[in-house]
Chains A and B, each alone.
Chain A
Amino acid sequence: MMTTLLIDVFLLCLLVITALGAVMVRSLLAATLLLAIYSLLMALVWVSLQAVDVAFTEAAVGGGISTVLLIATLVFVGRREAPGPLIHWPSAAAVIITGAVLIYGTFDMPRFGDPAAAPHQHVAPHYIAQSMNETQVPNFVTAVLASYRGYDTLFETAVIYTAGLGLILLLRGARTRRRERRR
């Protein structure tokens, strides 16, 4: 228990260092790479909290896909940040206020791992007791995602598919138009 706590504290310190580095560094490519490191460390925090599925999503989306998307953005905007002051005060104020509101929001959350918390009282006992009988899926997180919330997951996938398809068509269109103009 003590060991996991120490690991969590160490990982969170590394996260803060990485985040500050990503903000401070002037090369956008370096910032992208630091954000990839941030995602990998965040995934480790999730694994340490026993949320392996979330960790996996974090590593795939944060470390893999968003790095590729950010690099694709750098192809268009260039690698260097425009010169300017290191801290843009209006955005810093917006970030600090949002962060303060979010931290204030956590005060209403139940204590970490509290078995009497509301989310653990509603449908969770039913899933834990019955998911094996009702769905024949041994892992009940998978049972909830793929069976109890099957339609939700299905249409989420449809939304992401549509968004990706739209993006491909838009980018493809822009590229063809540029090529036509060049001719």
Chain B
Amino acid sequence: MMFVAAGAAVLVAILLFLVRALLGPTTFDRILAVNAIGTKTVIFVALLGFIAGRPEFLDIALLYALINFIATLAVLKFVEYRRLG
């Protein structure tokens, strides 16, 4: 039950970040929203494992945290320098 409540809270948080990503006046609001949704994804993958009764996939959540980093870096580099190289 605790996991379900936590999962509901994370889903509401994702919804709020999504609103920020859709409305966000500046690019940085949107980048922050993507990054925050990424971290919420990590948490939610972990929670889903416990909700479904299969917590063996917890390590997958760790790998998500690593992936989340790459896209944010690329976007920030593009915004700052107008190129990737």
Contacts and interface: CB of A to CB of B under 8 A. Distances in A.
A55 B79 CA distance: 28
Nearest to B54: A50
B71 A63 contact: yes
Interface string A19-56: 00100010101101110110011011001101010011
Given A4-B51, A50-B52, A64 B71 contact: yes
B60 A56 contact: yes
Contacts, number: 112
Contacts of A30: 21, 24, 27, 30
Contacts of A55: 45, 60
B71 A56 contact: no
Bin the interface of chain B by size. 35 or more
A4 B52 contact: yes
B79 A29 contact: yes
B84 interface: yes
Q: Which of B27, B48, B49, B82 lies at the interface centre, i.e. has the most chain A CB atoms within 10 A of its CB?
A: B48
Contacts of B22: 17, 21, 25, 34
Contact of A59 (B14, B21, B67, B74): B67
B82 A75 contact: yes
Contacts of A52: 57, 60
A18 B83 CA distance: 26
Contacts of B83: 75
Contacts of A33: 21, 27, 30-31, 33-34, 75
Closest 5 CB pairs of A and B: A67-B71, A68-B74, A21-B22, A64-B67, A64-B70
